[in-house]
A and B are shown apart, each in its own frame.
Chain A
């Protein structure tokens, strides 16, 4: 199995070590804002362990995925609300 996986974050190709989370890929792609809050503020991961829901992104069309708990998959398409 290859050591890395390739995925897209907001259309840009990112290569990550296998086993990395989607949150790591989003940060690697240069975004610190993952979503907009109800009043429009930029937000990023807080707890890093699936509790705070601040890192939620859309993965392959599925909204509200907690990127800190989902491992990068080959060909995944990730979009943030930033």
Chain B
């Protein structure tokens, strides 16, 4: 196995829009900047696979900016621990690496929230963003019947994307009420670029059935999903499908930040006006500081990049833009808050922890995440509670208490080799 040691003035973890913006802004000051991401190329989930052919002018702009500056790209590089306060450890494609930094910017993004319901573990029941990511990675959905369910604007974006690849979208089910959507729609008026996106999406999805107050209550099938039972008000009905794509909004990836000692504010990493966390020389930008979408991630990334490079004057100029976008994010999160009734989707027999196959009935007996973990192994499989944790937070109000290394599962050889060097 090979071992590499890198040293940066500014290290960015996460190569999505926030990370790209942070890296570009820090590099403008002539600093030595590196971006580590577990994916091979830059772009994160939203611009996955778009480096050679960006789908929007904004994506093109940022890929061009990344090209124009000197930034070391460490693709296929997953941070899993640290050696000391200024050195992270990462698993790479053919070994592992030590990443030394003077300043660190965390831009670790978000993942989808999944809610357990009967049949959600069947193959082809996926995240909404999950199915989109697979389609961007070469999966064909042409002619496939797809039901998209959950909450948030991502459902529409995914539907429009899949439709372009000739998927047969049978239904988009939004759990939020029509009145909440209307309220949200009204606040779009103050955001012309968002309003245009919404209008374009609506046009792309002409003829596709969109139902509010609606969610899946069970997925059925043998070796994969064949149909889904939907509920809207008092009405339930069944729809045949090849894929059920379900996403109940987003959860910030805050595990690495917690591990490095950054304080949280609620569910998110606490940052000050310059995107500084409570930990010395560690900044955070994008979804981990609050779910706010692409534009906010780009602005926060720039502020973090300038601030980390000591160019706080330039960072300050972006504050008004960030504040306006944060206001919009607040509207978004209020409109698409999960209705309490979704807590009854999981039946006693429903598996909540997919890694260890733990049923909801066995978890409800416990008072805390820790007790449930010790007695049932819930959250102790390879995903380390990243999927069941947010579900249980919604279902039972439990919070993940501690993050221990390795922050991500790694090969035993990696762990052994990196331990030897540390000693």
Contact = CB atoms under 8 A, between A and B. Distances in A.
Contacts of A44: 123-124, 126, 224
Nearest to B109: A49
Interface residues of A, number: 36
Which of B45, B123, B223 is most buried by chain A, counting CB atoms within 10 A of its CB? B123
B38 to A, nearest CB: 6
Nearest to A55: B134
Bin chain B's interface residue count: 35 or more
B130 A47 contact: yes
Contacts of A21: 134, 137-138
Contact of B123 (A43, A49, A53, A56): A43
Given A47-B133, A48-B131, A72-B138, 9 more contacts: A23-B139, A28-B139, A38-B357, A42-B224, A46-B354, A47-B387, A49-B133, A53-B383, A68-B137
Given A34-B123, A39-B357, A54-B354, A48 B134 contact: yes
Nearest to B123: A44
B138 A17 contact: yes
B112 interface: yes
Contact of B134 (A24, A43, A52, A53): A24
A36 B132 CA distance: 24
A51 B386 CA distance: 7
Interface in A19-49: 19-21, 23-25, 27-28, 32-34, 37-39, 41-49
25 contacts: A16-B138, A24-B139, A28-B138, A28-B139, A42-B123, A42-B223, A44-B123, A44-B126, A46-B114, A46-B354, A47-B111, A47-B112, A47-B130, A47-B133, A47-B387, A48-B130, A49-B45, A50-B38, A51-B383, A52-B383, A52-B386, A54-B354, A64-B382, A68-B134, A69-B76
Contact of B138 (A24, A33, A47, A53): A24
A57 B315 CA distance: 45
Interface string B106-117: 000001101000
Interface string B361-390: 000000000000000000001110011000
Interface of B: 38-40, 45, 49, 76, 111-112, 114, 121-127, 129-134, 137-140, 223-224, 354-357, 381-383, 386-387, 409
Contacts of B139: 23-24, 27-28
B145 to A, nearest CB: 14
Contacts of B132: 48
B383 A33 contact: no
Given A24-B139, A42-B123, A32 B224 contact: yes
Contacts of A54: 354
A32 B123 contact: yes
Contact of B137 (A24, A32, A39, A42): A24
Contact of A69 (B39, B126, B224, B354): B39
Which of B111, B125, B132, B139 is most buried by chain A, counting CB atoms within 10 A of its CB? B139
Contact of A46 (B45, B130, B224, B382): B130
Contacts of B38: 50, 69
B272 to A, nearest CB: 28
A55 B121 CA distance: 12
Contacts of B123: 32-34, 42-44
A69 B137 CA distance: 9
A32 B138 contact: no
A50 B48 CA distance: 13
A74 to B, nearest CB: 15
Contacts of B45: 49
Contacts of B357: 37-39, 41
A39 B45 CA distance: 31
A48 B127 contact: yes
Given A33-B123, A53-B382, A45 B130 contact: yes
Nearest to B388: A52
The 4 nearest A-B residue pairs measured at CB:
A20-B138, A44-B123, A48-B133, A24-B138
